Every structure is written in C-alpha cells, then in structure tokens.
Structure 1
C-alpha cells in the first residue's frame, strides 16, 4: 500500500491503508477478483469532480463496506456488507468525490458514522473539512 487515509469523528478515529483508483480503468476494475484483503486496507476511488455514483459487486469475491464522501471529505453515506457477486446497484448519493471500499463489517467495528471526516490530498482542490498538514 502506498497511501493512507485518516478518518475522525466524535469519539473515534482510524487510519486505513489504501490503493488509489483515480482513472477510468482502475475504477472499473476496483477490487474485483481479490480473494482477501488485510483488515485495515482498502481502495480509494477518486473522481475528477463531484457526481452521482453507484457501485455493484460483479466479480467481487469479498464482502465490502462502501463509504461515500463529498468534495470536503465528509462521509455522506455508508453501505455495509455489500454482497459478493451481486449485480444490485448500490447508490452512493449525489455530489460524491471519493468512495472508500474496505472489508465488510469494518465500518461497524470502528463505529464510523455519517458525518465523519477524511484527510487525504484528494480534497486539496476544494475546501476540505480536515486539511492535510
């Protein structure tokens, strides 16, 4: 893992090691075909601008939690334990700039709530709620 993201909220914080998916091909492949992932690892999907996003689990072998963040690095919604292989569309909301995928159940274990803040350079072009130092 080359990158980390920090998350904070009232009563908690977490650091996740992430792979970056910031172009069309990387975002399309995502975590497909992975048989496992270390507990505190994940993938950070970064878009060029905020937009409406939806994910699915086609060819994904492990359950995932999806954390959808706005351009300021604030968690707008969380989808827990997406079902491996499912073709069901999982909407993340409007005006989403970044999506963090982690192992299924991790967001609940951490107590990560909607409204939590993320620190990462992906938010440097906007007015981040938690700026990188």
Structure 2
C-alpha cells in the first residue's frame, strides 16, 4: 500500500511531529492492516479510518511488528494509546471509548516523540 502524499502531523507539547502514513480506509484494508509486515520506517505509520465513530477492537494476529496504537476521536484528538502491543497476539485491544481513527506506529514511537493523550492529529483523511 503506498504512503499518502500528505504527512500526518501530531501537535505535541514539545511541538509538531510528522509521519508518512498509509491509509486503511476500506474494510478490506482495515482487515489486512500491517499483517505480515517485517519492518516499517521509523517515521511511518498506518491510519485506519472507520465508517462511524464507535468502540474499536484491534488485534495483532499475523502482525510481527510490535506497535503503538493511537486511538483518535472525530476531531483528531488522541483519546488513548496502547503502547508496545504484542506481536502475533489475538488478544483484543479496545479503544477507551468511541473513536473514528486508529494510528499504528512502531512500538516506542509515542514515548520517544512525546505523543500523549490530548494531543491532536491532523491529516486530510481525518474529519473528511
């Protein structure tokens, strides 16, 4: 899946951080996600957009990369972060409440970049 031409930018207390993102906008893209990926560039991620704002349930089945999952509401505000998820796990990772988006980054990225709950993500796919 190609990287979108527009970077996703998260405004943190330390300033903006930007990522190249692949977009998972369809049910098929969301179902596949980052499964079977052996690596991902440090400044890249995958943005999942769901058809409606709701409780989102993710898992790591067939995903060898440990990930940070950022749960994002309609306005782009990060409302929860699941850090360092376990590769290949079938355990459910639930959003802390209704969300519209999930941004998957390499594990440790949120902490390293100072990304926290309350920070805001901006991209053309958010709130389209």
Aligned to 1:130: none
Instruction: Determine helix, strand or coil for the equivalent of 2:71.
Output: strand
**Aligned-residue offset at 1:11:** 2.1
Q: How does 1:25-40 map to 2 (within 5 A)?
A: 25-40=28-43
Instruction: Determine helix, strand or coil for the equivalent of 2:31.
Output: helix
For structure 1, the 5+ residue unaligned runs are: 126-133
Aligned to 1:17: 20
User: After alignment, is 4-13 or 40-49 more displaced?
Assistant: 4-13
Which of 91, 103, 108 is matched with 1:100 structurally? 103
Could you tell me the TM-score, scaled by structure 1's length?
0.90
Could you tell me the TM-score, scaled by structure 2's length?
0.93
Instruction: Determine helix, strand or coil for the equivalent of 1:28.
Output: helix
2:51 corresponds to 1:48: yes
CA RMSD in angstroms comes to: 1.1
* Number of equivalent positions: 125
Whichever structure has more strand as a proportion of its residues is 1
Aligned to 2:63: 60
